[in-house]
Amino acid sequence: MYELEYSMPSSVNDAVAEIKKSSEAKYLAGGMTLIPTLKARLSSADMLVDLKGANLSNVSVSSSEIVIGSMTRHCDVASSSEVLSSLPALAKLAGGIGDHMVRNCGTIGGSLANNDPAACYPSAVLALDATIITNERAITAEDFFVGMFETALNENEIITEVKFPIPEKASYIKFPNPASRYAMVGVFIAKKANGVAVAVTGAGENGVFRCSEIENALNSSFNVGSIDNVEISPDGLNNAIHASGSYRANLIKEMAKRALNEMI
Ligand SMILES: Cc1cc2nc3c(=O)[nH]c(=O)nc-3n(C[C@H](O)[C@H](O)[C@H](O)COP(=O)(O)OP(=O)(O)OC[C@H]3O[C@@H](n4cnc5c(N)ncnc54)[C@H](O)[C@@H]3O)c2cc1C
């Protein structure tokens, strides 16, 4: 890791002003991805602008949505009474991320900004049609995830909060990589007034995606058996050391069935 400057501004505006002082500066959230990549010299920075002082860690709930501040840690989402009562699938997702240290440091904003193709939160954001709020604008889930480790965020743009509409029912199940707990395949199913949405993480070459084959089957008949005849093509799925594309295609169906079993 190279020598660098560190600052912890006390507001979002101050953080933006601070980061503009250097083209090599980066925002720091939980540091769970950024610090190891800096240490391994896979990434570089001459200044870290820590968002911990910017008052972005909070959870609030209304009858129709849950709003989670970007610096809210995974452990706080997992144990939030508001999330547990209004959207328990999201609390479960957060509680299944990594290990204790990752959950005690990692944040929802850091996870979404990083957009790891095997991260859990992107599937919930996409299936629930959440909105990513930044210091500049509101971005729909559909527009936010651009590709592997790529998002619609502009340079220096800060995610400030994420707004999740509350569905009728939802469930998230992943097949975790036994070493890291990242999703080899994770499936988030949301049953909403306007239909069923199914988002898959861990499997796609370009990151999270909606699975229209399973969505169509469940919109015709919302039961586990309706998935039996769905064919998931391995085309476009990750063929990496941990699992082949066809294995992941099979896992998508299997995780979807397990998620449905929890909902029905
Ligand atoms: C061993 C291990 C296991 C893991 N397992 C899982 C898992 O099972 N499931 C899962 O989903 N994730 C997993 N993760 C990822 C982890 O949950 C973190 O979410 C992730 O590392 C990034 O969050 P962070 O808060 O640490 O962000 P950081 O590492 O601090 O930042 C990541 C990137 O996001 C940028 N950034 C951070 N916050 C903001 C913001 N508010 N606005 C704009 N840009 C921002 C930073 O500049 C940086 O580029 C794992 C990580 C590790 C190390």
Instruction: Kindly list the domain boundaries of the chain, sorted by start residue.
Output: 5-49, 59-165, 169-263
Does the C-beta of 158 come closer than 6 Å to ligand 1?
Answer: yes
Which atom of ligand 1 is found nearest the CA of 180? Answer: 3
Is residue 26's pLDDT more than 90?
Answer: yes
Does the C-beta of 124 come closer than 6 Å to ligand 1?
Answer: no
- Three-state DSSP state, 80: coil
Cβ within 8 Å of residue 120, ≥6 positions away:
93, 94, 96, 97, 111, 172, 174, 182, 183, 186, 201
Helix orientation angle between 212-220 and 245-263, rounded to the nearest 10 degrees: 30
Q: How far is the CA of 257 from the centre of ligand 1 (A)?
A: 28
Identify the CATH class of 59-165. Answer: alpha beta
Is residue 1's pLDDT more than 80?
Answer: no
Convert the pLDDT of each residue in 207-258 to its tens digit: 999 999 999 999 999 999 999 999 999 999 999 889 999 999 999 999 999 9
At the topology level, CATH places domain 169-263 in Enolase-like; domain 1 (3.30.390)
Burial of residue 113, with CB atoms counted within 10 A of its CB: 0-12 exposed, 13-18 middle, 19 or more buried: buried
Q: How far is the CA of 109 from the centre of ligand 1 (A)?
A: 8
Contact 129, 141 (CB under 8 A): yes
**Mean of pLDDT over the chain:** 97
CATH architecture assignment, domain 5-49? 2-Layer Sandwich (3.30)
Query: For a pLDDT cut of 90, what percent of the chain falls above it?
Result: 97
Is residue 42's pLDDT more than 70?
Answer: yes
Is residue 112's pLDDT more than 90?
Answer: yes
Q: How far is the CA of 107 from the centre of ligand 1 (A)?
A: 6
Query: For a pLDDT cut of 70, what percent of the chain falls above it?
Result: 100
